């Protein structure tokens, strides 16, 4: 299923991409891995990170390019078996300030991936999605939500056969470069206090290693038109701050543009098309698209969906184990 396969990982020089590659090289024997990213400095950083973490550079190719360039994508996906699409413009504020670029990378880029995979008879394509794309209120969420829709719609282009198009949707990655952990660390160093937009705000959090393992494991599920969601714990931000910095002053500064109090991971509408498996959920998104509940291979989990507030699984002090910042 994985051994002997050729991979293309868009955004592969990023935090998630590197961890996916580390796990692929450590636990499996891929024929080759192509990293496709537009940032040449990140390529250099990635090479150093791999070497520092005992990952051989053998059979890893570093290719500079953008997902907005369809002709280049067609070339780099030739003779590839599996695409993992992690490339995106991810910062909420950056997307709010640059909506045209966010659409180009997050939406048109997803379309280009779908079409290049179809053109080159790729076995399967995994899209990295986000809870920000569920009931979205900001540009980032809207563009990532559209990317999900594109991957579901692609099932029609493929005639229900290969490529298998699927998405992995999850919440915040603990300790990633864009998370609140490095922000608080710098604030403590500079000001001796930390800021919180709203202490009652809740978020889903998941360790980086778990996300990467979850994505790789979904390769083994030969299905199409599905959205996979790991079971995650959530926490309110006031409690999170108390755990990470118990003796530091907290300043509540108010919600920023594009932020929500709580994040939804499965909507009420999706829940009737959702199956609960061992440690994850599967939304039959294609059956939902064509409004065919009879075709869905499940009976639903709830009638109200799942969000970070009503989530029964909560983080406690154990979250500290994962709070080292990942580069």
- In degrees and rounded to multiples of 5, residue 49 shows phi and psi of -65, -45
- In degrees and rounded to multiples of 5, residue 132 shows phi and psi of -65, -20
> 79: alpha, beta or left, given left = phi > 0 and alpha = psi -120 to 50?
left
The neighbour count for residue 42, using CB atoms within 10 Å, is 20
Give the whole-angstrom CA distance, residue 313 versus residue 309: 10
Q: Whose CA is closest to 257, among 92, 130, 134?
A: 92
Give the whole-angstrom CA distance, residue 243 versus residue 104: 39
Beta pairing, strands 60-64 & 82-85 = unpaired
Q: Which position among 18, 42, 132, 226 bears the catalytic label? A: 132
Instruction: Provide the β-strand partners of residue 215.
Output: none
Active site (annotated) includes residue 132:
yes
Q: Which residues are catalytic?
A: 132
């Amino acid at each position: 299923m994985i051994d002997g396969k050729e991979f293309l990982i868009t955004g592969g020089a990023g935090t998630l991409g590197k961890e996916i590659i580390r796990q692929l090289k450590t636990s499996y024997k891929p024929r080759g891995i192509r990293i496709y990213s537009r940032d040449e400095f990140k390529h250099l950083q990635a090479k150093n990170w791999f070497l520092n973490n005992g990952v051989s550079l053998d059979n890893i190719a570093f290719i500079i390019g953008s997902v907005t360039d369809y002709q280049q994508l067609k070339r780099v996906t030739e003779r590839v078996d599996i695409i993992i699409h992690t490339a995106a413009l991810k910062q909420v504020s950056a997307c709010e300030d640059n909506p045209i670029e966010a659409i180009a990378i997050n939406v048109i880029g997803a379309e280009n991936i779908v079409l290049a995979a179809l053109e080159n008879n790729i076995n399967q394509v995994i899209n990295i999605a986000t809870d920000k794309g569920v009931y979205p209120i900001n540009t980032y969420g809207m563009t990532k939500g559209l990317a999900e829709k594109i991957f579901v719609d692609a099932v029609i282009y493929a005639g229900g056969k290969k490529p298998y198009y699927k998405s992995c949707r999850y919440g915040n990655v603990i300790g990633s470069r864009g998370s609140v952990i490095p922000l608080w660390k710098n604030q403590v160093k500079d000001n001796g206090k930390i800021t919180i937009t709203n202490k009652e705000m809740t978020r889903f959090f998941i360790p980086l290693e778990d996300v990467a393992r979850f994505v790789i494991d979904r390769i083994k599920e030969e299905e199409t038109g599905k959205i996979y969601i790991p079971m995650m714990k959530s926490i309110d931000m006031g409690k999170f701050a108390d755990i990470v910095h118990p003796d530091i002053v907290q300043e509540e500064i108010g919600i920023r543009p594009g932020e929500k109090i709580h994040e939804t991971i499965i909507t009420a509408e999706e829940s009737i098309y959702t199956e609960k498996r061992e440690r994850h959920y599967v939304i039959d998104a294609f059956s939902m698209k064509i409004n065919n509940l009879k075709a869905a291979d499940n009976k639903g989990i709830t009638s109200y969906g799942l969000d970070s507030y009503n989530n029964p699984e909560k983080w406690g002090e154990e979250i500290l184990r994962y709070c080292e910042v990942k580069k």
